[in-house]
Structure 1
């Protein structure tokens, strides 16, 4: 999803579904993105203890919460199927700034106005929280009480707990060997600053992993959908107002291409909808999306039927309802629901909406829509459906240019009369 949407949806989730584990590829992305956080002097004095199995998680909660019956908060938090405990390493920063390019050889901690080792580790934890939102997960950042530090440190000293450090080596592109070694484990030398832990889990939802090429589905997909709907609606109105052949032809082509172009956005819009559905019910923003989807689908189908030449698809009291009437009626409904949907989303224009990438995507969508419309017209001609003979403006001729079959105003044909001879003077 778009970054602004990630920020808007980010919140602390304190209840999880323990029967839906976090997929391995999502877990690796959480850790890899944490390593992209900034650190003073590229010290990277952090490590992340990953606890996934029920035994590991139970040992963590036992070591950090003590005995006694858990309260409601702890009961819900213990359901998280994944725990990531961040550690900070003060000595890594003191060593880094004692190097020649920094010059703080005295290693005096008083030179640091704030403990940057804790600040940087906190920023790395925030990267995991944002990644969790982007992956459709619930996450929470919570503290480990001082009484739980010794147990937390003992758990981190186990060699098998450092298996995730390989991700830091592969994700770090800057060749600083010393910094990489500092990320190699969470054992001796790591300070008591493991005062926080982050738990991530699908909060009653399945994570959505979009195929390559559809991962950027989000705001641009919604803007493209809005643009096509506006073009289709505007040209639909012009289709009734323009009567000249040339202008009418241009309007009809634009209207048909915009309507069929909606089909090209289905894969991207499907990812957007799945991500929205993956959120817990309490986190889903209310919208009229379902009504809008249904109306747009009926509008497109009825428009295609009209273009193919289907004159009537239902009957009421013996009078057929034309596909064009259904098309126009649902289009009016789309306008009403679309206004309500956009108004409820509280979205504002952004400079990036007119970026070069957005304009290139709009051009590609316009070209693809025209190609799809051309292919549809070719199918009509090959199959010989009535739509193949409609006029350039998209309308159908119901009468004839020959005036002789036309009835008289009385409803009866007027008999032909021989001309009267001229009167003599």
Structure 2
């Protein structure tokens, strides 16, 4: 392909930065990242922002390749026909290829009172607001955390370790991903921190008020502040731009991460839905998908057929404050094993995982193409075949 190729990456998170850095492997590719913040946000650290042990930001100079241009702005819409990204500021950026990596945000549930009375932790600004709100609470006033996935668990533990009375409302089981052995360990750790854990089907929240959370079984949990961590959503930019999405708003792609509407657009990270069978949202997945999205673009520029996405899973890490964690070992298909590492050893592994999530980006900035990840080769094709013949439903861990 002759001439220079302009690639615009929408989103400067794990997926977007990884893709942008990898695309600099070609000298005839110019890469622009559009992101609303001037600093990189390692979202694995947002619960630490709430607890005051991390700033939640890293300078883009540390993670972006020198050749990548950063535009600090938000995207209003994508003009697919003109191949232009229209910014909120009124400016626009043209592209030959587009990487859609807008990430995810907090869920917008229909539960009455959540929007008016609950804090979230899904983004830097919401974590900072929550930190301020918690600091303003009188000593001894309890906090209610809703949602027992990774964000809820880590936020509840961080607050409890800081001396705040905490009730964790699970809305189901504690740590759904965890193996039962690791789940029992999580319950013991919460007991040691003084966290009250309410689990089971009756703990789904039906209403949030200024001072209480009401549950499906009729109980009321009183508290001075509510934190909502149940679920994530994605920005509606793709739908607003006329692109095909799944029911949650993620961009629909084929297995090479190419948009089903436009070969010039690829997607990566939480906002992508390859074959309408999205991967579990995580920083690890985002980095791998960002690298694969870049590889798809580079393959097409080289006149080579892109490969389908392939990755295996190895673990999920959950911190319980600063001194202990659970490092849950997983099968390649993302099912939790009986094996896990807990205590201080788990905490060291958790910190290593957080550090590596940023280090992989800096390594890719220095040496495009350096990032690699373990492959599976069989699980995802089998899921796709089974779904095609209607023999199985999509398992929970694949969503």
Instruction: Normalising by structure 2, report the TM-score.
Output: 0.27
Which protein has the larger Cα radius of gyration, Structure 1 or Structure 2? 1
Instruction: Normalising by structure 1, report the TM-score.
Output: 0.26
Q: Which has the higher strand share?
A: 2
